[in-house]
A = this chain, B = another copy of it.
Amino acid sequence: MTRRKLFRLDEITGQFGGTLLGDPAIRVSQVASLTAAGATDIVFISQARYLGQLLQTKAGAAILGADAPEAAGIARIICANPYAYFARVSTLFNPAAATVAGTHKSAVVDKSARVDKTASLGAGAVVGKKVRIGKRVRIGAGCFVGEESSIGDDSMLHSNVSVYHGCRIGERCIVHAGVVIGADGFGIAREAGKWQKIPQIGGVDIGNDVEIGANTTIDRGTLEDTLIGDGVKLDNQIQIAHNVKIGAHTAIAACVGIAGSATIGRNCALGGAAMIYGHITIADNVSISAGTLVMKSLVQPGTYTGVYPFSTHQRWLKNAAQLRNLDELAERVRTLEARLGKDKGNSQ
């Protein structure tokens, strides 16, 4: 392991702002957790309830919120958004590995493809006809990029990614291993007891600064493109069906499924394993809780939830049995009310 570069705390605040309390000459080289940190590490706390843990840490410095200037004897940077500040510091300490330009000798590149000379194509990568690969793009080992697709400047595809023909990936995107972009949408028509395939002639259009988690799938559109807006962040194993549109800066946790032709607004947050019906529209700034199935359009910002509350299995058995008869229970309550005379008040 090579020795890490050390940064003075006042170098950090000089670059990213914030108020420095303590010795500006303290030098740190890495971010760490409160428990694992040593003298050349910097830690962060974004929630006041964890401030007590600062007493035990051996970190050299801490990034804290504006509500915590007096929290500890440790050197500290006070800022409005400790988590985002930490992101910047960690990025400073852990820069992406430099791209080594060039095409591995085992990669297969069609002669009609335009690959920028600063791009890096890994072992066994396959690049089809008329593909465009931008500046400083990195294509990982075993990736496939189909005919007439394009990858924007500074984007990266990790290993074994499949991009079908006619898809566009913007700039500064990160596509993790096993992702499939542009497979046929699930378009089938029933006729005489069999399914007819509907050709999927749209593509996929992915904006800039999008990150796509491992083994996520984004299908091509039936007639027009499936659209992923700028700054969208997708976790692993998400399924995005044909014709979906996702607004800019929406974040989606793992295992979410979005059915065909759904439109998701900007700045939304979808919790893990949430499922969105097809052909509905979700407004901007909507949060969907983990595990929630959304069956109709949402026009108001807010948080929406639909999860069966778990319990011990024994208790679930009892409650679930009643739930199966809930309509009947409600009817019995209506009967009781009728017998007592609903409008009588506490007349007994």
Contacts and interface: CB of A to CB of B under 8 A. Distances in A.
B141 A144 contact: yes
Copies of this protein in the assembly total 3
Determine the interface band of chain A, counting residues with CB < 8 A from chain B: 35 or more
Contacts of A223: 31-33, 36
A312 B320 contact: no
A259 B220 CA distance: 28
Interface in A217-259: 217, 219, 223-224, 231, 233, 235-237, 239, 241, 249, 251, 253-255, 257, 259
A272 B257 contact: yes
A236 B259 contact: no
Contacts of A176: 180, 183-184
Given A197-B211, A224-B36, A346-B338, A307 B306 contact: yes
A157 to B, nearest CB: 11
A259 B272 contact: yes
Nearest to A179: B178
Nearest to A278: B272
A103 interface: no
Contact of A293 (B164, B310, B333, B347): B310
14 contacts: A33-B223, A124-B126, A184-B213, A194-B209, A195-B249, A235-B241, A237-B239, A257-B272, A257-B273, A304-B313, A305-B317, A307-B320, A333-B336, A338-B346
Interface of A: 30-33, 36, 81, 83-84, 86-88, 90-91, 93-94, 104, 106, 108, 122-124, 126, 140-142, 144, 146, 158-160, 162, 164, 174, 176-178, 180, 183-184, 186-191, 193-199, 201, 209, 211, 213-215, 217, 219, 223-224, 231, 233, 235-237, 239, 241, 249, 251, 253-255, 257, 259, 267, 272-273, 275, 277, 289-295, 302-313, 315-327, 329-330, 332-333, 336-341, 344-348
The 10 A-B pairs of least Cβ separation, nearest first, read: A306-B310, A162-B177, A84-B191, A144-B159, A180-B214, A318-B327, A183-B214, A87-B196, A305-B316, A303-B313
